[in-house]
Structures are given as C-alpha cells and as structure tokens.
Amino acid sequence: MQVGLLTYYFKNRSPLMKKLFFGIALIAAIGVNAATPVYLDDSKPLEDRVEDALNRMTLREKINLIHAQSKFSAPGVPRLGIPEIWCTDGPMGVRPEVLWDEWEQAKWTNDSCTAFPSLTALAATWDPDMALLYGKSIGEEARYRNKSVLLGPGINIYRTPLNGRNFEYMGEDPYLTSQMVVPYVKGVQSNGVAACVKHFALNNNEINRHTSNPIVDDRTLYEIYLPGFRAAAQEGQAWSFMGGYNLFRGEHASYNPILMNEILKGEWGWDGAVISDWGAVHDTRTAVSGGLDMEFGSWTNGLSNGASNAYDSYFLAEPYLKGIEDGTYSTKELDDKVRRVLRLTMRTAMDRKRPFGSMGSDEHVEACRRIGEEGVVLLQNRGSLLPLNLDKIKKIAVIGENAIKMMTVGGGSSSLKARYEVTPLDGLKKRVGNKAEIVYARGYVGDPTGEYNGVVTGQDLNDPRSPEELRDEALRVARDADVVLFFGGLNKSNHQDCEDTDRESLDLPYGQNELIEALAKVNPNLAVINISGTGVAMPWTAKVPAIMQAWYLGNETGNALASVIAGDANPSGKLPYTYYATLDQCGAHKLGEYPGHPGIDELGNKVMDMPYNEGIFVGYRFIDKNKLKPTFPFGHGISYTTFEYGKAGIDKAEGSADDVFTVTIPVTNSGSREGKEVVQLYISDKKSSVERPVKELKGFRKVSLKPGETAEVKFEIGRDALSYFDADKHAWVCEPGEFEALIGASSADIRSKVKFKVK
Ligand code: BGC
C-alpha cells in the first residue's frame, strides 16, 4: 500500500497533491506499525518478534512469565496479549483438566481423551511411521484441548526392569529410542503444540526419585543416556524439555548446569525452553544459573511445603525478583529464560496458522488400534497355538484379572480419563461372536481399585472369594476348555507400573506364577498374554506353549488384542528391552548399584548415591558381554509367518570413516501369510583401543511381505554408527580397523554377517 501511494505521489506533481499524499502515506505507515507491533506480526522473523516482546516487558512481567500460576499453566503477559501457556500430561493421552491448585480432576465433562498405547508399546512397533502417527494424533488432541505443551514423550533408558515408569519410556536402546522419539516430536509439533521431552536426564528409577544421585562417567552418559535426548533436540527440534527430579554431579537435574547449560543449550545449540518437573526446584540461586527456564509444581510458600496458591513464593518468583532488585542476580539469565519462553509461546499459542486439532476422532481410534496391533510381541508360539483356529475351537477359557481390568486409570501423571476402554475380555467376545463359547474366571484378585485423582473406571472389582476358591474355579474352567487364554501381568497400582514407586521384585505379583503352572497342568493349550510395561520373570516358559507381550494399549486394548489373537493382524512387534530371567542378568543389579546407598552430596545434602558401575553395558550389551541367556532377548518377536534371511552384501570392503558403507540383505516371507519383519542391523568393532559392546544396534527396517515375496533391505553405515565417545577428547571417535555388520531378527538371532575395514 505504501509503495502504491508513493508511486502515485511522484506521478502527481501539484504541490498541494504532493503534500496531501505525503501526509496520507505517513499516517498509513505509522498506522500499520501501531496496529501490528513486531512481536505480533508473524511475517517477521521469530527472533525479531521475541526481542520486541522482551523489550516491552517490565521486570515483574518477565518474572511472572517464567513460573506457574496454577498446577498446569503459566500466565503469559496479559497486558501485551501474550497468551498463557497451558501444559498437559502426556505422554499417552491428554490428561483431564485438574483444579486450579489441586491434582484432583476438575470434573469437566468434555475432556475425555483417546488413550493411546503406552510408549513401550510404541517402541515395540519398531516403526518410525507409527511414532509419527502417534505424535500427530496425540498432538491433535492436545491442540483441540487448547494446550501449548504436551508433557511427553518420556525417553529415559530402561536401566532396570524394576523402574515404575518404564511403561512411559521407549526401552533400553539409545538408537531405537532416537529413531522413535524424533517422529513422535515432529508429529506433536505439527499441530503447533510443543513436545516436552522428559525427564532430562538419568531419571531411570522412581524409588528415591528426589534424592537419587546417579554416578555416571561421561562415556556412559554420552553413549547410553543422552542420544535419545540429543536426537529429540537436534533432529526433532523439540520446543521444550523437562528436567528430572534426580541429582547429577552435585545439582538437581532440572537446573543442572552440566546437563542444561553445557550440553543441551551449549553443545547441542538448542533454543527451546527447559521446564522443571513438578516440584523439582528447591533453590533460587541454582535455578537461576542452572539453565532452568520455567518452574512448575513447587507446592511451597518458599519456606515450607504444603502452602496452596503459593505461586508468588516460587523460587523463580518473588525471591528471584527481590534478588534482582537487591543486585544478587543480574537480568542476563532472566532475559535468556524469557526469550526461551517467548519462543515457546510464539511457536505454539501465538502461531495463528496452527491447525485446530481434533479429539476422539475415528482416525485417532484407528491409530490407537493400529499402533497397539503393531506393538504386540509374540514371544513364543509352540505348536502354532495362536492364532486361534475358530473353525475348530468350541470353548475358550479366559482367565486372569487383566482380562477385565481397565488400565487407563492409574500409574501416576500419565493416568487418563479415556472416552472408553475395551477390555481384553470384551474385545474377544466381540471378535469371537458365536463362533465359540467364552467362559471367564478371575483366578486371583490383584488390584480391585480403579481411581486416580477423582477419575474412576466405574468398575467394581472387589471379590469376596478366597484365593483358593478363585483358583479352583479357574482350573475347573480351564480343564473344560479347548484353549486357555491367561491375561495377567502387572497393573498401574503402586509398586507395579506406576510413578513414584518402583517394583519390589521381578516376579509376577498375586501368585500368578503358581496359577499359570497349575493351568498348564490341567490344559496344555495355554497362552499367556502378559500385560505390562516392563519385563517380568517367566519361570514357566517351558510349560506354556504360547506367550504374548501385550502392553497397556489404551482405548482399543481389547480390540487390538483380539485382532492379534484371532489372527486378523499378524504380530510384528519386537521387544524394546531384554526380558531378563533374573535380576542378576541385568548390569544395574549385578554390577551397578540399585537403588544405591546413602551418601552426602557436594552441598551437604543427604542423597542416594547410585554408581552406574555397569557403565555402557546396559541391556543386551551386558547380556552379550557376559554370554547370558535371557528369557527373551532384545529385539525378539515372532510372527504367524516365517522369514528367511539371505546373505548380506556390502558395497565396499574398505573405505574411510567418512564413507558410507551400504549393506544389503534379501529377506523373504517363507510362510503362508502376509506379515511384517523388523530387520535389525548391529555393528561390531572387531578391535578397538577401548572396550566396546560386542555389538550395538545401528539400523532397523520394518518390511511388509506377502507369502513368497522378497525385499532387498538396505542399510547405510556412516561414521556415527562406528564411533564411540572418547571422554578424554570429549569427542566421538571412529577408530580405523575391522568392523562387522550383523543382520538379524533379534539381538540373539543374527542371520548374516559381513566384514568391512575402515582405513
Ligand atoms: C512427573 C512428570 C509430569 C508432572 C506433571 C511429575 O510428577 O514426573 O512426568 O509431567 O508430574 O504431572
């Protein structure tokens, strides 16, 4: 418009007209600028907008911006029209609204969500496309509910099977986690909702979670515990991160100068906002300097615990303001925090182009079911007991509490108010219809509760019968059936798959082992469907022909499981962690310390020192090194069809570290059904100046094949796949020498190998 006016002005030379047009042009220019300040003008570069907003803010507004005003929100800058930031858990569905200052749900009636499968189930799909679908779908729900930040995904490494939150994470391997977290983050953020990747870092247990002090060397940190986070920050470009509760080298993780300043914001050049875990901040001084940008959930009056509506007393609230006013702190750190929070707001709530989202759509239901079906892992299937042959089977005994228990409620902050939940028993009944009779017996009582923060399942699972009565009924029902499906495992109550507590043993609870053995005796056609988010001991594998790892699969649990059990879907999941036979097979328990021993940290606080003596030998790395035989290895999972692997070939036998080596292998569906196989590539450094794992996962592809069909599966191996982290040099190093590419169907089932040399 201004250009047009000026052109006209120059064409019209009468002095009066000149003056008139000059005046109009001036007013128009001022008018445009006044109407659209730079920070609100989304045609301007993000950094200019951030700087403009920052320059308009008072000191108090800056302080207000960086701490909570309610359990899940921060106030924005009302005077400038900069919106509030609303967060929500995460990571498996959008949490119901809670009261302003309480955890209790607010009893809204429009906030029931789609509950998606647990993140271990997602990881078990070994399919980045599923992670993208997951992120996009959950992001749409968060967007529809007007949230700016989804508190997830969780990607802490599975160091011990006892960690109560393993179900919220993506397993034991840094490469698998990295490949799955990036599309999840991108999917969420395509909705203008920030992913908040948590819990950075080393938050690998729930027991003593506020005082755990993992003692980890740099190599282990960089090779095992950081790669997922780095991928999320750099490739995924996650807009926010959440710090952990635990300590690390003398400071809490949420404002840890090494983790946040040196690594995340320094080495990785990340420009997002660090959000504290809820109640993870304990001190103003270090929160100011340690790289924390937003404080949430402190539940304190600054002096003692338990004051409600204490937001002004948060460590980054009045105490920080006072400290700036009296010269204790400069505004340098504050401005950096404010810039990061503004960036977060502009990327989310201030993005006028972001989509509107959707909630509970058919697409989300479909996504939930697909991810569930693809995540289920068939662990063994002797005599092809599964899928059920419904042309022959007349009577099915369904035994076990988990066949009828709703699992979307419970487990801590990931607890949901799901729109509906199909239990395994209901899913089976629907699928089997009148093709066979289904008889149910509970077998044991585990956890009859079904309530979390005021959300109730509505199920009454109390059963007054004695354990003997329940067991006898189950055996009677099982004896009389053609096939027995036992649905057991863990649940979301304390000391199971649940936040804030760890499990107390690897064993299945509630006498399930004894019951399974007794069932196997009365009916050999037994399938155990284990519902859990972590590994359990299975001392009965020799006596049970079919075993399936089912996870918490959300709304569609029963439908997804029925579809796999009946064979509509062919299982294609692979274990994202090692299934240990005993805790002794896990490095954290055998060599490392868990849950640690009492110690005193650098500041004189009582902590639980937890040396990670097992170092980089986590999961299959420990199994390989010690030549152990777990119940089921990392990467394991079978199908209703079979796959044959041909001979692997490589494009060159020798090259430099900067070359890309291409490995190919033909994989054929040698069975009679269409199915999917996850082809895995592990790299082994044959000779190295430092001790290296026997092999490490560095590639995988999920291929879908019709009977008789062959795929040429291709992997590219670059420097990253060959390097280790040299702590002295503080750099990734690829040593020349001989390497081997191992390709297989699991970490313990290598089908072909090919050697190559790096000059
Ligand atoms: C959990 C976080 C969660 C937060 C908010 C904390 O207790 O550790 O993962 O996002 O609460 O509910």
Query: Mutate which of 277, 414, 498 to test ligand 1's pocket (most atoms within 8 Å of Cβ)?
Result: 277
Index of the ligand 1 atom closest to the CA of residue 72: 5
Q: How far is CA 37 from CA 23, 342, 576, 588, 719, in A?
A: 22, 15, 50, 55, 47
Question: What pLDDT does 601 receive?
Answer: 83
Is the CB of 89 inside a 6 Å radius of any atom of ligand 1? yes
Under DSSP, is residue 394 helix (H, G, I), strand (E, B) or coil?
Answer: coil
Tens of pLDDT, residues 52-76 = 999 999 999 999 999 999 999 999 9
Tens of pLDDT, residues 554-576 = 999 999 999 999 999 999 999 99
- The phi and psi torsions of 468 (rounded to 5 degrees) equal -65, -45
Index of the ligand 1 atom closest to the CA of residue 198: 9
Question: What pLDDT does 2 receive?
Answer: 42
Is the CB of 192 inside a 6 Å radius of any atom of ligand 1? no
Is the CB of 244 inside a 6 Å radius of any atom of ligand 1? no
Question: What pLDDT does 299 receive?
Answer: 76
Lowest mean pLDDT among 4-13, 274-283, 611-620: 4-13
- Taking each continuous run of H as one helix and of E as one strand, the counts in the chain are 20, 30
Residue nearest to atom 8 of ligand 1 (CA): 277
Residue nearest to atom 11 of ligand 1 (CA): 278
Nearest partner of 346 among 53, 37, 33, judged by Cα = 53
Cα Rg of the chain (Å, integer): 28
Is the CB of 90 inside a 6 Å radius of any atom of ligand 1? yes
Q: How far is CA 339 from CA 75, 286, 321, 554, 622, in A?
A: 15, 19, 17, 37, 43
Mean pLDDT over each residue of the chain, to the nearest integer: 95
Is the pLDDT reported for residue 30 higher than 90? no
Residue nearest to atom 12 of ligand 1 (CA): 413
Question: What pLDDT does 18 receive?
Answer: 56
Higher pLDDT, 15 or 531: 531
Query: Mutate which of 151, 208, 299 to test ligand 1's pocket (most atoms within 8 Å of Cβ)?
Result: 151
* Residue 647 pLDDT grade (very low, low, confident, very high; cuts 50, 70, 90): very high
Is the CB of 200 inside a 6 Å radius of any atom of ligand 1? no
Contact 487, 398 (CB under 8 A): yes
Prediction pTM value: 0.95
Question: What pLDDT does 389 receive?
Answer: 97
* Residue 303 pLDDT grade (very low, low, confident, very high; cuts 50, 70, 90): low
How far away, in angstroms, is 99 Cα from ligand 1 center? Answer: 16
